[in-house]
Structure 1
């Protein structure tokens, strides 16, 4: 998938998910007091839907948050060129950088809510989305994560929190079923305790894979951002029996570093990844990425919002 198409599909998926919520939020200022309520447009008049975007424009999540925002901006431009949502509700975006940090996500969300936004978009990961979403929940402002895929995300925040992604438990089950269908009976998993995404997905996969009759022959851990994976590559190479498949939810910059390490060590075992590696960086790995299969979101070309 080329980058421009990826941006448009991303924006379209998010736009379709958000459209109804945006209309419902029109006129809301993120506060229940009388002064804030006076900002709402009178009945029958159009209002501007003010969307706050609290996402990682820099840092570890920028690789997903930046193109997601680019795709969303395309949708906003197209909608506003047609007069707004339903031809009468223009959309305004206010973007603030969370620096891919959970604490900063909460700070930025508070700033945006203070500016009277009607809708909050949070980063493409559950941890910072929970931090930001809890403030939106208190203000009763709808919030949605680009791709926060933890199944506990809405539960951890409340009824005003939504996700544009499938749950990690669902994509792990899909990967496990795929592995079983391919005839793989043994697997090695690699995760990191540094985020809910990288710690829970290997566990979800292992539960599903073993329930299918498979065996986990090894489990590894890494620190997000570590400079090399040579020790882990050596551990995998020493496994006896060798695993039929390797599963990891690592994403950039860790996934490319890990993949280069194991391929450099002569390990050509198939690798199963998750939606975190659906990026141009993975495609740019070329032959190194041979044997990599990953789950991701998508739409049918003739039936989705881009059809």
Structure 2
């Protein structure tokens, strides 16, 4: 449009101009009020977006599990938005690095709620790491869905606000014990456990309970206190190899599993090693060394190219394109958790708990996720994987016959 020049008005024209100016000021105030009502960090035009906060430990001892989970979460949010969102609503995923530091993690949760105004928070793979964030969230009546922390005690520690997208340690420990007896023909078990974390205390507790209930005998329990104490394990195992145990349960943190397995082998024990989902890492083969022997571990799904599931195959391909490496089960857990949280938020934006219950069933890469009868932990099958001679293969899925009470 061609611009025209007008002579400034004076006298009787002043009053209408003042009225117009006042109207403009009021309009600007109104617009400002709208802008200020949009949560911080929300892009313009996305005030109705599904806002998910994520805390993952991208640095520190938990990073080997949380980096894949964070990547899976980002991929899920991207794909939801590529499909046009959920009911037309885009997903905004705001992510912070917890740095494997509980003080930092609690501050991250507070920031996600107070500054970013998220509707739900997800993340992390360790029970000790999750609790500080979940308690902050519960204090603000915000639901936290952990993608990989497996303590079945968590819901009771943060009632009504802490949900698991994964199974509990009692479930995976029971599956490991039953497998040891039915498939490895083990009647005796040696237990090597890190006594410094909730996960590595609970896993052997439930394993020993289920193994004994199945008629097995625990020959010895060898505790150690964190990674710095692993060198003492071989000495503590002296004399344990005679009589040789049928299986060795190793309960270890994700960064310590290789060293703990090496300590068992250094003591002359050749029985199969069995462990939990902390062993699900592409670094395990190199960390355990060429003399690691047979290792079996429980995890949340067979996320490998041998999987016959087309959704899993598509996920592996996209993940590799984005990140240049193959995903593991923790990457799939992060992916599933964003989908569950987003769908729950879409169903019930003001009450995520109601949305989780209304979700009924989500068929994810790591199995079916549903929260029925006030449960905060889904009932899922356990996948068993074997590492032998540097090669990893799936041993199939198992639903344990009996699961110890939390």
Asked if TM exceeds 0.5, the reply is yes
Structure number with the bigger relative contact order (C-alpha 8 A, sep ≥ 6) is 2
Alignment pair present for 1:295 and 2:298: yes
Could you say which residue in structure 2 is the equivalent of 1:280? 282
Aligned equivalents of 2:210 and 2:310: distance in 1? 30
CA contact (8 A) 2:148 2:164 kept: yes
Aligned equivalents of 2:100 and 2:257: distance in 1? 18
Aligned equivalents of 1:101 and 1:286: distance in 2? 30
Offset, 1:242: 2.5
Aligned equivalents of 1:156 and 1:246: distance in 2? 31
Alignment of 1:234-245 (within 5 A): 234-239=235-240, 240-245=242-247
Structure 2 unmatched ranges of 5 or more: 1-33, 314-406
Could you say which residue in structure 2 is the equivalent of 1:73? 74
Could you say which residue in structure 2 is the equivalent of 1:102? 102
Query: What is the RMSD of the two structures over their aligned residues, measured on CA atoms?
Result: 2.4
- SS at structure 2 position matched to 1:120: strand
Aligned equivalents of 1:176 and 1:272: distance in 2? 9
Offset, 1:142: 2.0
Say how many residue pairs are matched: 267
Offset, 1:134: 1.4
Alignment of 1:1-307 (within 5 A): 39=38, 47-86=48-87, 88-115=88-115, 116-181=117-182, 182-226=184-228, 228-229=230-231, 231-239=232-240, 240-284=242-286, 285=288, 287-298=290-301, 301-302=307-308, 305-306=311-312
- SS at structure 2 position matched to 1:84: coil
CA contact (8 A) 1:226 1:254 kept: no
**1:184-239 CA distances to partner (integer Å, 9 max, x unpaired)?**
1111112223111011111111111111111111111112221643x322332412
Could you say which residue in structure 2 is the equivalent of 1:18? none
Q: Which is greater in Rg?
A: 2
Aligned equivalents of 1:235 and 1:286: distance in 2? 21
Cα 1:227–1:194, aligned 2, differ >3 Å: closer, same or farther?
Answer: closer
Runs of at least 4 residues off by over 2 Å: 38-41, 101-104, 234-237, 261-267, 283-290, 299-307
**1:135-166 CA distances to partner (integer Å, 9 max, x unpaired)?**
21222222111201000112211222111111
